[in-house]
Amino acid sequence: MPRPISARIHLDAIRHNLDFVKRTAAASRVWAVIKANAYGHGIERIFTALAAADGIALLDLDEAVRVRELGWTGPLLLLEGIFDARDVETAARYRLTVTVHCDEQLDLLEAAKPPQPIDIQLKMNSGMNRLGFRPGDYVRAWRRASGIASIGEIGLMTHFANADDGSIDWQIDNFDAATKDLPGTRSLSNSASVLWHPRAHRDWVRPGTILYGASPTGSARHIEGIPLRAAMTLESQLIGVQTLQAGETIGYGRTFSADRTMRIGVVACGYADGYPRHAPAGTPVMVDGVRTRIVGRVSMDMLTVDLTPCPHAGIGAPVELWGERVRVDEVAEPSGTIGYELMCALARRVPVVASSRLDAAQIA
Ligand SMILES: *Cc1c(COP(=O)(O)O)cnc(C)c1O
């Protein structure tokens, strides 16, 4: 028997979330963002759930080639564009749309003679101060791009710094002022902006994390009531049970001591599986269908849970570390991170299974 841990990927949840995005930004086309191996869910595994997307966006040239080879014929966007001259030819061969955020990338395109022109998304730095042309330089960059023979259509794009926690009007205003005389499609919105800033929906939206059912803010309470379904369930089982007397401690560092007689469950899941070591006592977990909490320090291969609310749970009882009933954000937030990171950091040693049908956990 392998260790009982596994991650289940729910294709129906991704389809449902994509459909929700399409209804929420009904006038926009959708780039489904699947960078970082589809936020840890596996590009090949989830690919069929993306059929209703208008385009697919990611980072790696290799990932883009894989997506074409899976049979995707629609628009395919490289969010950071190309990195050297050889990439131009690959982009042309696989009909990739490339982000262009600096003059050096325009130099590469200008020097190349691809067999057909390459569509670009010209990126503006409207305030994020990571990638892109500054608003005052944008029209010049656009004019330069439109004079380059190897460039086809030019879309206009930018990315928000705080769509998850504040007003983004200042960035939208920067973008609109700098692009007011330019033709081309507009693409501004990440997940947070899809949910909370309809003014920024425009021609194309670019949701990532909400396709997987995680919160763009990192906090589960911000997506309460929004019909997003978790696309990943990390599940395991109890492999041990201990009864502690008052004053006894659990695990490394003896960080938790029982204040009464307590049953403690030992779960086959640790930080080497991708569960955050920083998760404090009190982090929620489902054991045998009952919500309880982890106690003691997370170790490499195991963690420990309070069995007080589930007195009948014994060895073999099912445990959901995160999924439909414990949102990944509820584990991430007390651990000082965001659901994005936990999903992306699922460890290679965890077997992953795709399930295409709704299961009981999701319907509940
Ligand atoms: C990652 C990324 C997105 C998606 O962000 P989410 O917060 O996951 O929705 C959109 N646009 C760009 C440029 C990105 O890099």
Cα 269 to Cα 179: distance, rounded to the nearest angstrom: 50
Nearest atom of ligand 1 to the alpha carbon of 216? 7
Give pLDDT tens digits for 218-259.
Answer: 999 999 999 999 999 999 999 999 999 999 999 999 999 999
For the chain, residues classed under CATH 2.40.37.10 are 232-326
The answer to whether the CB of 72 falls within 8 A of the CB of 66 is no
The answer to whether the CB of 318 falls within 8 A of the CB of 235 is yes
Q: Can you list the alpha helix ranges (DSSP code H) found in 212-327?
A: none
Cα 313 to Cα 311: distance, rounded to the nearest angstrom: 6
Give pLDDT tens digits for 246-298.
Answer: 999 999 999 999 999 999 999 999 999 999 999 999 999 999 999 999 999 99
208 lines ligand 1 (CB under 6 A): yes
Nearest CA to ligand 1 atom 3: 190
Cα 251 to Cα 332: distance, rounded to the nearest angstrom: 21
Q: How far is CA 228 from the centre of its chain?
A: 13
Q: Point out which residues pair with 318 in neighbouring strands.
A: 237
CATH dotted code for 232-326: 2.40.37.10
Annotated active-site residue 35? The verdict is yes
Mutate to test the pocket of ligand 1, among 80, 158, 190, 201 (most ligand atoms within 8 A of CB): 190
Task: Please report which confidence band the pLDDT of residue 364 belongs to, taking 50, 70 and 90 as the band edges.
Answer: very low
- Supply the pLDDT for residue 358: 52
CATH 2.60.40.1180 is right for the domain spanning 11-219: no
Q: What is the pTM of this model?
A: 0.95
For the chain, residues classed under CATH 3.20.20.10 are 11-219
- Supply the pLDDT for residue 361: 47
Pick the catalytic residue from 252, 271, 275, 340.
252
Give pLDDT tens digits for 189-227.
Answer: 999 999 999 999 999 999 999 999 999 999 999 999 999
Percentages (nearest 5) of helix, strand, coil residues in the chain: 30, 25, 45
Q: Using DSSP, state whether 320 is helix, strand or coil.
A: strand
79 lines ligand 1 (CB under 6 A): yes
User: What's the token pair of residue 192?
Assistant: 């947070």
CA of 261 to the centre of ligand 1 (A): 48
- What's the chain's average pLDDT? 95
Mutate to test the pocket of ligand 1, among 159, 204, 222 (most ligand atoms within 8 A of CB): 159
Give pLDDT tens digits for 73-117.
Answer: 999 999 999 999 999 999 999 999 999 999 999 999 999 999 999
